A and B are shown apart, each in its own frame.
Chain A
Amino acid sequence: MWPLPKLAGWFCALLAASLLAPLLNAQVHDERAIKVAYVFNLTKYVEWPHTSTQLVVGFVGDGPMGEALEKMLTGKTSDSRLIRVVLSPQDKALEQCDVLYVAYSSPEKIHATLQRLRGKSVLTVGDTGSFPQDGGMIGLVRAADQVRIQVNLEAVQEAGLKISSRVLDLAIIVHSKPEAK
């Protein structure tokens, strides 16, 4: 009838092969954790024009990143600044963020937020496809099984921020689309 012994043998072999493989390398991470780790690293490699004892990370939009940022960054310190996470900051509070993670699903809202923050020293981070081309500063884009970082250098400089070459060496440099300027 059905070649059950053959199948069972195949699975055992597959199972054995995967279990015997070394566990040391190729650790696989949760995508949200990687993105939050990127945000944390950026706080160390970006220079803001002002100094303060705390660093405010804001989140606007939908999706799981807000909760992930709050859970993983609240209370951490970066270069002796205490990190505070603010979810859905409104109006004035938006401009008081040092980093703003923008995760709206609608491109219009993203555009409106970026327009609003032009010239302000807020590092904008997003994970939608064309975030840096639309004027955002940092894009965290999923490419197959990795998260790559994209930087829109003009937007960063326009905001009066300086970004370390350590990040630029790893990043894909992106330019704003003409309409976004």
Chain B
Amino acid sequence: MSLSIEQLAQAKVFTASRHLEDSRQAPSSVSIIGAEEIRRYGWRTLGDVLNSLRGFYTSYDRDYTYLGVRGFLRPGDYNSRILMMVNGHRVNDGVYDSAPFGTEFPLDLDLIDHIEIVRGPSSSLFGTNAVFGVINLITRQASSGMTVEASGDTSTFLGRTGRLTANFREGRLSGLFSGSLYRSAGQSQLFFPEFAAPDTNGGVASNVDGDRSSQAFGDMQYGNLRVQGLYSTRTKLVPTAAYQMNFNDPANQTTDSAGFLDVSYHRAMGIGDLETRVDYDRYDFLGVGAFWGADPAERYLASSSAGADRIGSEATLGRQIGRHRVIVGGNYEYSPRVEQENWVAGQTPWFSDHRQASQAAIFGEAELNLVSKLSLRVGGRLDWFDAYGASLSPRVALVYSPNSRTALKYIYGRAFNAPNAYESYYWDNVSLVAPSIPLKPETIGSHEVIFERGLTSWLQMTVDGSYNHLGNLIDQVPDPASGLTHFVNVGRDRGRALELELETKRASGLAARVSYTLADAADEIQHVRLANSPLHMAKFNGTVPLSHKSFAALEVLYASSQISYQGTRVPSSLLTNVTVSTKPMWGGWAFSASCYNAFNRRWFSPAGPGLLQAELQQDGRTFRVKITYRFHRERDSK
């Protein structure tokens, strides 16, 4: 605001080179979810947000949340085939390559300004993990002056969250700092029919569904320099007695801690827009379980830990050449610590693996605007891992926009997913043995055709057809030699998906979208449909203003039946979520009240390997009430 009009005419505007401007011009199928939408629908986790979008679905095993895309949700996979970023900083951890979608997600959703969800393989720009898509979470910018915000919510099962956020902006300096605490007692009585026997409490897990997390986030910007960091730790009690732990034992828990420090600098120069980044990442996992010894009266604790430190650097240069745009970049990462250990309490570890890892990459993409309505994008990335060698990921996209309301896109891409430390080196001889043959990266080839059209000024339609072919899939499969399971590059899957979506936004404040997804994903070797893969999904999301400052939102989600890892049929699910919310009023107070699974329907998630259960019943009807207070002081300006 302090710039004069002459300065404004000279000012340079930041070109987000790998980020999106107009999603219709992007060479992929993109959805953007804003903070306002997250508030209106009462979404609690990133999994809730993704669950509302066509093509995505989630599953929860009372510990972690797993994301499925277009019919693919691999048993035993911790979301390593989706790249998750916060402000362009990679979040997938250095041991499991996992992306956190539940309460293990390290950022409070209230801090998000918007989420960019790019479907389809994007390894041509982002490297490993970007097999099915990239999810980039962009955090809020500090508003001018000084703002302090406090928020609290309470939900069913004694869930409560408290958050305090402060931000300021003074000239070229701005800062945002936030801390959140979350606790939930979880369900007090969880019944698992597989454990219905007198010596396992009749199948009832009592008060062992607790969840708690603490998070801190900071973001400071001075001109073109940005320093951001976060730290989060989350502990969940595990009531499912996974991996043959004692049933109904409060010692069974997993703790995930993640933190990063990221320094980035961007500058528009004559040669182009330069973005550079240096970062440090840390991840730690601790799993504790109680087991019976040979003597039934003897109970002992066994722990499993994993951790990684990673230092990375990256530079990208984007440049406009006439009507075309080019971006090139490079990346180098070194992990001085990648370790996994298993031990029995009080004894030396019986499994211990410590190593270092390094990787480097160069990538580039050219956007060629050949004629006024046609745009061709060609790009590729060459990744080199010290453990696995090189991987090349090309991408070609053709975008035809006859007018501002219509776009037709064809995209072909190849992506890869490098084996992670867990798949390559971990064994426990209880359920998992180490791979007998060294693992190679998985590959995916993908063809996609997207048609987007503004049917009327207020109705937008998208038709998205995709064909995905995955090879060398790293699967956790039964190993006949040991009787346990192991990871092997064995899989070959193919998936055909057709997604239809209609979306409307009216000036009155009414906004709605309805989508249908048909996803036929099959194992090409066994010629059977994949597990954890609903054939049909239908979703409705609608929000209407109730008054000048309040809104009601309705979400109805349907997923057809699935086959579990064990081969049983998991029934279809139909969920209805309702939220009523307000914008800030009475000088800064905002409220929201939500009811999830309003009709209290029984629904299940298929369970993964390592669990006795084939499917896990999910929560019935639950509620949440949330209050936010914002205090804002503007500095006087002329």
Contacts and interface: CB of A to CB of B under 8 A. Distances in A.
**Does B associate with A?**
yes
Interface of A: 2, 4, 7-8, 10-12, 14-15, 18-19, 21, 23, 26-31, 34, 36-38, 40-41, 45, 60-62, 67, 71-72, 75-77, 88, 90, 104-109, 142, 144-149, 166-167, 170
Contacts of A34: 3, 8, 11, 13
A31 B13 contact: yes
B360 A2 contact: yes
Interface stretch (B99-107, B260-268, B612-620): B260-268
A7 B269 contact: no
Q: Which 3 A-B pairs have the closest CB atoms?
A: A106-B457, A41-B5, A31-B13
Contacts, number: 135
B330 interface: yes
Nearest to A14: B315
Contacts of A62: 505
Contacts of B267: 18, 21, 26, 28
Interface stretch (B46-54, B235-243, B270-278, B494-502): B270-278
B359 to A, nearest CB: 10
B25 interface: no
Contacts of B36: 67
B457 A170 contact: no
B323 to A, nearest CB: 11
A27 B265 contact: no
A4 B13 contact: no
Given A27-B223, A28-B14, A28-B267, 16 more contacts: A7-B332, A8-B360, A11-B331, A18-B274, A19-B265, A26-B268, A28-B12, A34-B13, A38-B8, A41-B8, A76-B1, A76-B634, A76-B637, A88-B509, A104-B457, A106-B454
Nearest to A33: B1
B371 interface: no
Contact-residue bracket for chain B: 35 or more
Contacts of B10: 146
Nearest to A142: B13
Contacts of A149: 8-9
Given A2-B384, A15-B278, A88-B507, A29 B11 contact: yes
A125 to B, nearest CB: 13
A171 B256 CA distance: 55
Interface string B441-460: 00000000000001001100
A75 B13 contact: no
Contact of B320 (A12, A76, A144): A144
Contact of B457 (A7, A75, A109): A109
Contacts of A4: 358, 360, 384
A149 B9 CA distance: 7
Contacts of B273: 28, 145
A28 B8 contact: no
Contacts of A142: 13
Given A18-B315, A108-B457, A170-B5, A29 B13 contact: yes
Contacts of B405: 106
A29 B12 CA distance: 6
Contact of B8 (A27, A37, A104, A105): A37
B8 A77 contact: no
Interface string B498-538: 00000001011100000000000000000000000000000
B144 interface: yes
Contacts of A147: 8, 11, 13
B244 interface: no
Contacts of B224: 23, 26-28
B200 to A, nearest CB: 54
Given A62-B505, A170-B5, A107 B384 contact: no
A45 B320 contact: no
A78 to B, nearest CB: 8
B348 interface: no
Given A18-B267, A28-B14, A148 B360 contact: no
Contacts of A26: 12, 224, 267-269
B4 A148 contact: no
B430 interface: no
B265 A77 contact: no
Nearest to B507: A88
A142 B8 CA distance: 12
23 contacts: A2-B360, A4-B360, A4-B384, A7-B332, A8-B360, A10-B330, A14-B276, A14-B330, A15-B313, A15-B315, A18-B267, A19-B265, A27-B224, A61-B507, A62-B505, A72-B143, A88-B509, A142-B13, A146-B10, A147-B8, A148-B9, A167-B5, A170-B9
Nearest to B172: A27
B18 to A, nearest CB: 16
Contacts of A18: 265, 267, 274, 276, 315
Contact of A23 (B223, B384, B509): B223
Given A10-B330, A145-B273, A166-B5, A60 B507 contact: yes
Contacts of B315: 11, 14-15, 18
A178 B457 CA distance: 24
B13 A145 contact: yes
Given A7-B360, A8-B332, A146 B4 contact: no
Nearest to A74: B634
B5 A38 contact: yes
Given A8-B332, A145-B13, A149-B9, A30 B141 contact: yes
Contacts of A144: 320
